[in-house]
Amino acid sequence: MGRMSVGERRSALVAAAFTVIATRGLPAASIRTIVAEAGMSLASFHYAFTSREELLDVLIAETTASERSAVLPGQISGHSLHDLFAEGLGGYLEHLRARPEREQAMLELTQYAVRSRPDLAREQYGAYQEIALATLELVAAETGCQWLVPAPTVARLLVYLTDGLTIGWLVDRDTDAARATIEAAARALSTLART
Amino acid sequence: MGRMSVGERRSALVAAAFTVIATRGLPAASIRTIVAEAGMSLASFHYAFTSREELLDVLIAETTASERSAVLPGQISGHSLHDLFAEGLGGYLEHLRARPEREQAMLELTQYAVRSRPDLAREQYGAYQEIALATLELVAAETGCQWLVPAPTVARLLVYLTDGLTIGWLVDRDTDAARATIEAAARALSTLART
DNA sequence: GTCTATACACCGATAGAC
DNA sequence: GTCTATCGGTGTATAGAC
């Protein structure tokens, strides 16, 4: 492996780590398998990071927010509140179906963070909720509706649903059931606002 | 350690494994730490189980359903649909607050199963949904209401919410926010039936 | 600066003493 | 039947050659 800056090496290792976690799971993501995935020697890892733990910290901080924010909105245009919820959650389900390994990896990283890096987990979860909140406020402004419960509460409910949908679909891969549940959720959620 | 039947030994090891996972996480639950928790010698493990994997299979099969079913209903008596949802989810939140390590362990076992024992995960998730469904049908019979969407779909939505609530509260431990979200969820869910 | 070689701890699993 | 002792393998991390 040729000469790389520390920054390049770190990026390459973070990307390789995510690939390994997505394809084989977090327990399989040892330093050895990560450097193998990145095509580096074992020792070069500790030239870029002081420990495996440090790499996981960076991985969580860099991926969680960007990954999830990339998923949400799409464009907004004049539909009903029900349709906006249904399209938003339906779009997420399509993303999940297209790249299940990615969301599985996110879930494993969240689990690890809750256990071993609680502050980091909290921070990322907060960022995630703010994205949901911003989307909801955009929706409210667009459709001219008003929330009957505080918007942050609706945002949190949306996050609950998204996490639950992720686990549920990853477990049984029942897309039809997931779609029907999204439809019911959209119907229920849309009653939390008045036009 | 005195003489025990294989059955006793298996039970003791399963219980010890759950304790270790709850307190220190699944990655820490090696055969060595499990037998230490159970006060046994290392070799006695393989007298009761052929492998660590086999113990985890038994652990998942035995705990998942019983753990979650023990949480749900309580008694039902003449409240509105809204109140029944709110009390059901609120009761689960109280259980989560009282024993966060247990639900954290359940989540880690689910994650492990999804990755390494997909059939087992599916089976347990199905059992979990059936419990939710049975509860909903009991509720419908009690309140005399009728679901506007299929009951299994409502059950799945309830499972999504429970899983999302679990992750959310474990991450930020914000009980007030969780309670407010449960209230909103109950309000939204109760619109899925007519009296 | 980057590699190979290695130190040392812990893993799952088993052999063999008692 | 139950233990101690040990095997082969892998983990993280580092020393030392180049």
Q: pLDDT digits over B140-183, tens only? A: 998 999 999 999 999 999 999 999 999 999 999 999 999 999 99
Write the pLDDT tens digit of every residue in A36-74. 999 999 999 999 999 999 999 999 999 876 776 666 666
Last residue of a domain, one of B13, B30, B49: B49
CA of B43 to C1' of D10 (A): 21
CA distance A172 to B119: 9
Look up residue A145 and give its amino acid.
C
Same domain assignment for residues A71 and A37: no
Same domain assignment for residues A67 and A158: yes
Say yes or no to pLDDT of B124 above 90: yes
Q: Are B25 and A116 a contacting pair at CB < 8 A?
A: yes
Write the pLDDT tens digit of every residue in A18-38. 999 999 999 999 999 999 999
- Give how far A46 is from chain B: nearest CA, Å: 23
CATH number, residue B43: 1.10.10
Question: Does residue B160 contact residue A104 with C-beta atoms inside 8 Å?
Answer: no
C-alpha neighbours within 13 Å on the C-beta side of residue A184: 28
Enumerate the β-bridge partners of residue B194.
B146
- Give how far A43 is from chain B: nearest CA, Å: 25
Q: Are B157 and A122 a contacting pair at CB < 8 A?
A: no
Helix and strand numbers (H, E) in chain B are: 9, 2
Phi, psi angle pair for B3, to nearest 5° = -75, 130
Q: Are A114 and B189 a contacting pair at CB < 8 A?
A: no
Same domain assignment for residues A127 and A86: yes
Enumerate the β-bridge partners of residue B146.
B194
CA distance B168 to A157: 10
Phi, psi angle pair for B146, to nearest 5° = -130, 135
Say yes or no to pLDDT of A102 above 90: yes
Question: Does residue A136 contact residue A154 with C-beta atoms inside 8 Å?
Answer: yes
CATH number, residue B87: 1.10.357
Q: B75 or B192, which is more confident?
A: B192
Write the pLDDT tens digit of every residue in B39-83. 999 999 999 999 999 999 999 999 876 776 666 666 666 689 999
Write the pLDDT tens digit of every residue in B12-41. 999 999 999 999 999 999 999 999 999 999
What integer pLDDT is reported at residue A67 of this predicted model? 72
Nearest to A91 by CA among A22, A15, A158, A171: A158
Q: What does the pLDDT average to over A66-87?
A: 78
Q: What does the pLDDT average to over A172-178?
A: 98
CA of A48 to C1' of C7 (A): 21
CA distance A165 to B28: 28
- Give residue A99's Cα distance to chain centre: 11
Q: Are B164 and A164 a contacting pair at CB < 8 A?
A: yes
Q: B195 or A70, which is more confident?
A: B195
Phi, psi angle pair for A101, to nearest 5° = -60, -35
Q: Are A156 and B168 a contacting pair at CB < 8 A?
A: yes
Question: Does residue A174 contact residue A96 with C-beta atoms inside 8 Å?
Answer: no
Interface test with A, best of B52, B157, B189 (most A CBs within 10 A): B157
Q: Is the CB of A17 under 7 A from strand C?
A: no
CA distance B19 to B35: 11
In the block, tokens 């039936």 appear at B193
Q: Is the CB of B47 under 7 A from strand C?
A: no
Q: What whole-number percentage of chain A has pLDDT above 90?
A: 87
Same domain assignment for residues A12 and A92: no
CA of B33 to C1' of D18 (A): 43
Question: Which nucleotides of chain D have an atom under 7 angstroms from any protein CB?
Answer: 1-6, 10-16
Q: Are A163 and B168 a contacting pair at CB < 8 A?
A: yes
Sorted by sequence, the CB contacts under 8 Å of residue B52 that are 6+ apart come out as B30, B31
Sorted by sequence, the CB contacts under 8 Å of residue A46 that are 6+ apart come out as none
CA distance B92 to B168: 13
Same domain assignment for residues B152 and B111: yes
CA distance A85 to A190: 8
Same domain assignment for residues A145 and A182: yes
Interface test with A, best of B93, B114, B128 (most A CBs within 10 A): B114
Residues of B in contact with A167 (CB under 8 A): 110, 114, 160, 163
Indicate the pTM of the whole model: 0.96
CA distance B64 to B70: 10
Question: Does residue A171 contact residue B110 with C-beta atoms inside 8 Å?
Answer: yes
Say yes or no to pLDDT of A179 above 90: yes
Look up residue B139 and give its amino acid.
V
- Give how far B2 is from chain A: nearest CA, Å: 35
Domains: count for chain A: 2
The residue in chain A having the minimum alpha-carbon distance to the alpha carbon of residue B153 is A181
- Token pair, residue A186, equals 């959209």
Q: B69 or A135, which is more confident?
A: A135
C1' nearest to CA of A29: which nucleotide? D11
Same domain assignment for residues B42 and B76: no
- Its domain, for residue B15, covers 1-49
- Give how far A3 is from chain B: nearest CA, Å: 35
Helix and strand numbers (H, E) in chain A are: 9, 2
Same domain assignment for residues B80 and B111: yes
Q: Are A149 and B187 a contacting pair at CB < 8 A?
A: yes
Nearest to A85 by CA among A173, A180, A170, A189: A189
Same domain assignment for residues B119 and B165: yes
Handedness of CA B179, B184, B187, B190 (dihedral sign): negative
Same domain assignment for residues A98 and A38: no
Residues of B in contact with A183 (CB under 8 A): 149, 153
Q: What whole-number percentage of chain A has pLDDT above 70?
A: 93
Same domain assignment for residues B43 and B100: no
Total Cβ atoms within 10 A of residue B144: 8
What integer pLDDT is reported at residue A3 of this predicted model? 77
Determine whether A29 is exposed, middle or buried from the number of CB atoms within 10 Å of its CB (0-12, 13-18, 19+): buried
What integer pLDDT is reported at residue A162 of this predicted model? 97
Same domain assignment for residues A111 and A162: yes
Question: Does residue B58 contact residue B14 with C-beta atoms inside 8 Å?
Answer: yes
What integer pLDDT is reported at residue A142 of this predicted model? 87
Handedness of CA A76, A79, A80, A86 (dihedral sign): negative
Say yes or no to pLDDT of B121 above 90: yes
What integer pLDDT is reported at residue A164 of this predicted model? 98
Angle CA B47–B52–B57, to nearest 5: 105
